[in-house]
Structure 1
C-alpha cells in the first residue's frame, strides 16, 4: 500500500527505505495483531509516524542486516498531507459516507485501494 502511496503522491523515496520504515512502524504498532479491518487506522498511524520522523535523519539501519541506507529526500510534507486525508476518510466512514471515504483513500493510494 505504501508503495502505491509513493507513486500516487509522487514521493521520492526508495523501496528499501519504505520497507525499513514500515518494519519499524509495524513492530511497535499497538494493533499489529488485528485483522485487515484496522487498515484505516494503520494507514493513519503510519502517516503520522512518517510525518513526525526527524527531518534531518539521512541514515537508517536496514532490518536483518548490518547495512545502512542513506537518503536525503524529505517525505514528511507529503506524509502530513496523506495523514490529514486519512483523518478525513476515517471521519467520513464514521458518519456513513462510504463513497467520500473511498474517494479520500484513493487520493492517497490511487485506484487499487480500497477495492
Structure 2
C-alpha cells in the first residue's frame, strides 16, 4: 500500500550524509497501514546521492505532493525516508481537483484504470 500526502517544506539540514527536511504535513489523502504519518511537523530524509543529483529538487517554502511507499520505522532516521520509487511533485491547486475527482470515482468503483483489467 502507498501513502499520498500534501506537505510544505519548512527547513533543511544535513545529517550524516543525508538531507533532513522539516515538513508541515497539510493533508493526508491515503495512508499506509503500517506507517504513522500524521498532520503537523514531520521529517523527510533524502539520501546524499539523491540530493546531489537534485532528484527530486526540494526547496524550502514550497508545497509538494508525495506519493509512495514511505518508511517511518527507521530508528536512525525518524520520519519519512524517500525510497527510489517515491514520487515528489511540486503542488498546484489544479492537482487537488484531479485527486479529489479520481478519489471520488475510485470510491464509487468507477475508476477508468480498473476497466482496463
More helix by share: 1
Flag the structure with more relative contact order, 1 or 2, with Cα contacts below 8 A and sequence separation at least 6: 1
More strand by share: 2
The two structures have a TM-score, normalised by structure 1, of 0.29
